[in-house]
Amino acid sequence: MEPADLTKSTGAGELLQHAAKLTLRLHYRNLVNRSRLKKKCPGSPGEELRDCIEATLSDWFSKPRPPTEHYPETVDFFIDEATDAITPEEREELKVSVKLFLCESSQSSIRDAVQLACHTLAVSQLDSVIIAPPGPQEGESQTLANLQPFWEQLESLVRNQQIAAIGTSDLDKDLLEQLYNWAQVKPSSNQVNLASCCVMPPDLTAFAKEFDIQLLTHNDPKELMSAATFQEVLQEGVQDPNIGDWRLDWVLRYSVIVESRGIIKSKGYLVSAGKASP
């Protein structure tokens, strides 16, 4: 699935009024290269995402767009000259690491996100994908039953060789053990948010060591960007308050790492949103 090319499109506000979905391909270096942000570093992952959206929409609007008679179902915002595509010659020395934040409960979002990431980076396989599924309802806790449909989609992509390794985020020892015992493709990693846990829990550490699961740390909030914030950023960037009500489906953050040197070659976000039903 490739989004519609907007090089033959008109204003974004008019496009979004007729579209059902939108995607944003956000290259981090496009953010840091902008002079207005050179003296300002984003303070959190949510702020970084917002700044990337603002930078991409601003650059998109700076390019002339001829009118069109046909409105695409999916509007794709990206910077023509910006690319993090990986050449075949450099693929062996690079690792593509992804974290997928699911905002809706559609399992098909996982397949769509992985396909767009592979297309954007010009690779056939992602080396690792960590999934952050939608949070449970208020007052409830995450359960294996909540995780299973998402994990089955990841397992299918592993069998199809589109993902090499899959991991989880913010599972305690009991839930990680349940997932491990049930899953056909075992989790290779589990992220732990040290904002709520200053030291790795001993029982989690012991279980991970026994079953060769890598424990990683992160500082991502439970909600990377609220629906209200996304709508606000989109309206400001498109410069049209009448674009309709849009909600995030998923946000994918990728990092391309030079394995031999342990440095990040490039990073960015892919965002998918759908128009809320009237």
**Which of 69, 50, 53 minimizes the C-alpha distance to 61?**
53
pLDDT of residue 36: 47
- Residue 31 is predicted with a pLDDT of 65
Q: What is the mean pLDDT of residues 196-215?
A: 90
What are the pLDDT digits (tens) for 221-268? 888 999 899 999 999 988 888 888 999 999 999 999 999 998 999 999
* 14 within domain boundaries: yes
Is 52 part of a structural domain of the chain? Answer: yes
Q: What is the pLDDT of residues 38-70, one digit of tens each?
A: 556 667 899 989 988 988 888 888 877 666 677
Amino acid code (one letter) for 75: V
Express each pLDDT in 10-32 by its tens digit. 577 788 888 899 999 998 876 66
242 lies in some domain: yes
Closest Cα to residue 168, out of 180, 156, 182?
A: 180
Polymer length in residues for the chain: 278
Is 211 within a domain?
yes
What is the average pLDDT value for the chain, to the nearest integer?
87
Please state the pTM of the whole predicted model: 0.90
DSSP-assigned letter for residue 83 = -
Report the chain's C-alpha Rg in angstroms: 19
Count: domains in the chain: 1
Query: Would you say residue 100 lies in a domain?
Result: yes
Identify the band that residue 92 occupies on the pLDDT scale cut at 50, 70 and 90.
very high
* Bridging pattern class, strands 94-102 and 74-77: unpaired
* High-pLDDT (> 90) share of the chain, %: 57
Distance CA 192, CA 196 (A): 9
Domain that holds residue 92: 6-275
Is residue 192 one of the residues assigned to a domain? yes
